[in-house]
Structure formats: C-alpha cells, structure tokens
C-alpha cells in the first residue's frame, strides 16, 4: 500500500499543479527561427565588414620557402625567403557606409524579430487555450447528451414518448462523440504549436484564462505604427542590403595588392617591396555590375512588398478594432442548458424540441470563446505593430 501511494504521489502533485499562465510560458520561450535567421544575417554582415578592416580586402598571405644552393666549388648553403601579400581594399567610403548602415539595422532587426517572436508565442498560447476550452465544452456536452439519452429511454419504457425520440438522442450522442474526438485532435495540434514556441510539457496541461482583453484606442495608432520597430526594420534592412551589395561589388573589383619579400641567398640579403595588379577578364566588370544592380532591384522590390504587406496588416487590424463588438461572455449557457435538461426530465420537453435548442446554446458558447480569443489576438497584433523598441 505504501509503495502504491509513493508511486501515485507524482500524479497527485501534477494534478494539483496550478494552470500555466502566459507569463509562465513567456519565461520558457524558445528562440524562434526568425530570430536565428536574423542572427545569421547580421553575423554574415559583420564578418564581411570585419574582413575589410585596415584597408585590406582579406587577410594577408605569408609564404615561407627554403632550399639548398649547391655550388660546384665551395660549401653548399641554404637559401631562405619570406613573402608577404597584402590584398588592398581601396574603397573606404563604401566600407564606412556599410558600417553606418549595419549600426542602424542591427538593433532594429533584432528588436523586430523579438516582437514577432513574442506575438507568435501569444498567438500559440491563445490557440491552445481556445482548444482547451472547446474540449471541455465538448466533454460536458457529451455527458449532457448521455444523461438525456437515459431520460429518453426511461420515458420510452413508461410509454410517454415514441421510439424515434430515443433514436434522435442516440444520433446526437454519436455526433457529440465525433465532435469530442475532433476537439481532442485540435487541442493536441494546438499544443504542438505551443511546444514549438516555448518549453512546455510534452502532454497538454491546463492553461490559465487570458482574462479581459486590453482596451485599445484608435487615437495615435497610425503615428505609432509609422514609427514602429517593424517598419524601421524593413526600411533599415533595405539600406543594409544595398550597402552590403555595394561592398561585395567593391571587393570583387578590388585588384591591387601590396607585396613584399625578404630573402637570404648565401651571403646576400635581399628585400623587396612592390605592388601587384590583377587584370580582369573581358566583360567581368560589366557582368558583375549588372548582377549587383539586378540583385539590388529584386531585393528592393521584395522589401517594398513586405512593407506594403505590413501596412495592409495594420489597416486590417485597425478596421477590425473599429468595428469589433465587445468580447462579452455568454452568461446564459449554463442556466439555459440546466433549464432545458430539467424540462426534459420532467416530461415538459421532448428530445426533438430540446436537441436543437441545446445545439444553438452550444454554438453560442463556443462563439463566445472564439470572440474572446479574437479580441486578445487583435490586441496582441496591434501592440506588436505599434511597438517601438529602443536600442
């Protein structure tokens, strides 16, 4: 008996664990793929900038060589030489522009990726919460229908109702079981979505209600959106990509190198310093310039489309905020369903009359949950679209 109690203790503790709140989940947030992509992009741009530090196109090359010098008369000696090659980058203005652009884009892109990651986490939490509420609703509904089925069978045996009344409730029970299975599937899918965004348990656990949605005013939202981090990130990304492409083109067309050598040949010491120039192949410079301009044009167009999509996203959210009704709870569900159940058990209501009313009440309660979730999603999206993160 003692062993059984010890084995059941973890289950009891888990059952008594309080529901997870959004703040709890926020502390367990994972790094999103979008954040990783931004980190990779910025690391690449910093690497390209660091590679041209000190007027160098790339790192210097050092060569060492040694070999015997054989003489027909006299002792043999060993010749030694050291060669140094410094590829030059003679476009400091392009490098300075890339450095300035990267200094502005770095905090903006990091801030925008954090904002989007937090919004997607909030979205995943609300999807999981809604799926949980709908699952509980379907579980309670199936229990109600089974209770009604027993009442209908009792009235059939008493001769108070016809047999088709029982068949109606049996069919409704099958439908409620199918709806419950679908609700379980949707909750598992929503929980998987939450697990991709935060380190939550592998199996679904209760979630705390999100509470009342934040009330937002339309005053000043447009101005806050214009100065938001998400818009600044797209604009700074465009300038960063342009400067990075110019920097890459300057690297590819940089042809001068500074070379020096020091050699010991027998008793002699020889030191040399000079310049080297790499000649381009026919049409190489023109092709490189066309490639840069085409890539820049495509990048500029992609980011312009991204900016238009962001503007459309804000206008859609703003319109929904202006026309959305208040997310008031549906308070009559439990009382109405209890009243219908009581009338059914007392014989004052037949299943053929009660089942359509029950279905309407059920859909109204589900719509109430969905409206509350939509209100929270709208509030979270507008907060993300108007957020301004200081570097």
| Amino acid 190: pLDDT | 96
207-245: pLDDT as tens digits: 999 988 888 888 889 999 999 999 999 999 999 999 999
The burial of 157, by beta-carbon neighbours within 10 Å (0-12 exposed, 13-18 middle, 19 or more buried), is given as exposed
Rounded distance, CA 233 to CA 13, Å? 46
Q: Which residues of the chain carry a pLDDT beneath 50?
A: 1-15
Domain annotation for the chain: domains and CATH numbers: 44-60+93-258+297-385 (1.20.1600.10)
- The tokens describing 199, both together, are 């380190």
Give the residue from 298, 364, 307, 287 showing the smallest Cα distance to 331: 364
132-165: pLDDT as tens digits: 999 999 998 888 888 877 877 777 776 666 677 7
pTM of the complete model: 0.82
| Amino acid 337: pLDDT | 75
| Amino acid 371: pLDDT | 92
| Amino acid 277: pLDDT | 80
| Amino acid 10: pLDDT | 44
Give the residue from 167, 212, 136 showing the smallest Cα distance to 366: 136
Rounded distance, CA 317 to CA 218, Å? 11
Tell me how far apart the 2 most distant CA atoms of the chain are, in Å.
Answer: 134
| Amino acid 251: pLDDT | 84
Q: How many CA atoms lie within 13 A of 231 on its CB side?
A: 17
| Amino acid 68: pLDDT | 77
| Amino acid 391: pLDDT | 52
């Amino acid at each position: 008996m003692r062993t059984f109690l010890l084995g059941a203790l973890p289950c009891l503790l888990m059952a008594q664990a309080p529901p997870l709140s959004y703040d709890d989940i926020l502390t367990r947030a994972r790094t999103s793929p979008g954040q990783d992509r931004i980190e990779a992009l910025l690391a690449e741009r910093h690497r390209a900038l660091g590679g041209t530090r000190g007027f160098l196109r790339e790192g210097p090359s050092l060569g060492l060589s040694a070999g015997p010098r054989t003489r027909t008369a006299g002792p043999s000696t060993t010749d030694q030489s050291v060669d140094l090659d410094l590829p030059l980058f003679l476009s400091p203005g392009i490098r300075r522009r890339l450095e300035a652009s990267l200094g502005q884009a770095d905090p903006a892109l990091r801030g925008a990726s954090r904002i989007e990651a937090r919004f997607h986490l909030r979205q995943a939490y609300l999807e999981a919460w809604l799926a949980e509420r709908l699952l509980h609703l379907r579980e309670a509904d199936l229990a109600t229908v089974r209770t009604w089925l027993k009442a209908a069978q009792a009235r059939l045996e008493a001769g108070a109702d016809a047999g088709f009344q029982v068949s109606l409730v049996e069919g409704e029970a099958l439908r409620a079981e199918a709806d419950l299975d679908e609700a379980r599937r949707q909750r598992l899918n929503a929980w998987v979505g939450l697990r991709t965004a935060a380190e939550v348990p592998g199996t679904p656990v209760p979630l705390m209600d999100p509470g009342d949605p934040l009330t937002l005013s339309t005053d000043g939202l447009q101005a806050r959106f214009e100065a938001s981090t998400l818009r600044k990130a797209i604009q700074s990304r465009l300038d960063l990509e342009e400067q990075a492409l110019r920097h890459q083109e300057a690297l590819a067309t940089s042809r001068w190198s500074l070379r020096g050598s020091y050699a010991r040949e027998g008793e002699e010491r020889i030191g040399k310093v000079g310049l080297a120039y790499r000649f381009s192949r026919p049409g190489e410079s023109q092709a490189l310039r066309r490639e840069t301009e085409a890539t820049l044009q495509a990048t500029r167009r992609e980011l312009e489309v991204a900016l238009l999509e962001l503007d459309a996203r804000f206008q859609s959210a703003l319109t929904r905020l202006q026309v959305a009704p208040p997310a008031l709870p549906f308070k009559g569900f439990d009382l109405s369903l209890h009243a219908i159940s009581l009338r059914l058990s007392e014989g004052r209501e037949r299943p053929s009359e009660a089942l359509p009313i029950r279905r309407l009440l059920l859909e109204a309660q589900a719509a109430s949950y969905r409206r509350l979730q939509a209100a929270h999603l709208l509030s979270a999206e507008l907060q993300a679209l108007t957020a301004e993160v200081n570097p």
